[in-house]
Every structure is written in C-alpha cells, then in structure tokens.
Amino acid sequence: MDFTELYQKCDDCTSCPLYKTRTNLVFGCGNTSAELMFVGEAPGEREDATGIPFVGAAGQLLDKYLTAIGIEREDVYIANILKCRPPNNRDPLPEEADACIGYLREQVKLIKPKMIVCLGRISAARLIRQDYKITREHGEIVRRGAFAMTAVYHPAALLRDPSKKEDMLRDMKKIKAYLDSIK
C-alpha cells in the first residue's frame, strides 16, 4: 500500500462512528520520509476544520519548539492516534483507538522514521507502554526495533501549565541530540 491508497482507505473508513461527526479526515502531514515523527492524540476543532494536525494553539506551540531546536515542521511527519475528531474534544475511547491504530502503523511502515515522539500521555500509553507515566518518564529514549521512541508533554498541557515548558525544551533538545548522534 502506498500513501495515496492508505489515505483513501482512511477517508473511506467506517470502523468507528467518528467518521459521521467529523468535518475532515486528519490523516497526517509533513515529510513522508521523515527521520522524526510526532504522534498526538486526536484532532481538535481547528484540525477538524482544516484537515491538518496540530494547527491550533497547541500546534503553534509545537512549531515554536521545533524552531527552537532548528528543525522545520516540513522536515518531520505529524499524525495522531485518531484520524477523526472526537466530539467536543473528549479523550479517544479505547475502541476508537483500536479501530484507528492500524492506519498509524501503516504510516510508520511507509515513513520508516528513526524516532517516534509521542505527544502526551494518551499517545505514549498506546505506543510505548500502557502504564506510561508522562511526568516521570518524559524525555527517556527507548529503542523499539528499527526506531527509537520517547514521549514529551502534550503542547496543550504546556499551555495549561507553563511550568512544564523548561522540561519540554530539555526533552526537545535531547531528541535533536539523539538524531544528530545517529547520523
């Protein structure tokens, strides 16, 4: 399956009810050969309206961290666990994530990133370990077969609690240093 076929499959998906209430599919965006991939939780209002992940306030903050470590948004790939917005931005239901995660796995297979960064606890619990403790483990890099993984605070959490911003910058610098070290 190539990216176009995968996109079409997602667009046609009826595996959970969220396709009925979404405005746009939020498939993912960026460099399809990226070394670095970010995975958030689910599209919010702005993402649903535009079809692009992380374009709202949280996304703009993520962009600032990318700039701070000298990486362009166009160089990375950004996706979510869910490709359709849950109504009123509620947390994804386990059955919605179960229905959607296969598409993310296909994206990872096509992109073959060197590192996957989970944005927030919900993404980390799905992709790294179910009982992942974001406050304790953020920024720890673990190897998973062909790629490395880590999790950082969700940018929306930084907007709610700016005291976490220092940790976020440290984690993002660590991610950049890791990528530089494997060049």
Residues that bind ligand URA (CB under 6 A): 40-44, 47, 53-54, 56, 58-59, 80, 119
At a CB cut-off of 8 Å and minimum separation 6, what does 155 contact?
Answer: 54, 58, 59, 61, 62, 65, 119, 168
Closest CB to ligand URA among residues 30, 40: 40
In the complex, least distance from residue 77 CB atom to ligand URA, rounded to whole angstroms: 13
Buried b vs exposed e over 40-60: b needs ≥16 C-beta within 10 Å?
Answer: bbbbbebbbeebbbbbbebbe
Query: Residue 99 or residue 119: which is nearer to ligand URA going by CB?
Result: 119
Output phi, psi for 142, to 5 deg.
-120, 145
Nearer to ligand URA, 42 or 127 (CB): 42
Q: How far is the CB of 29 from ligand URA (least distance, A)?
A: 10
- Residue 130, SS3? coil
Report the relative pairing of strands 142-144 and 147-152 from DSSP bridges: antiparallel
Residue 58 beta carbon to ligand URA: minimum distance, rounded to whole angstroms: 5
Q: Minimal CB distance to ligand URA: which residue?
A: 40
Choice between 60 and 177, CB closer to ligand URA: 60
Residue 136's CB is within 10 A of a number of other CB atoms, namely 7
Q: In the complex, what is the shortest distance from the CB of residue 25 to ligand URA, in angstroms, rounded to a whole number?
A: 12
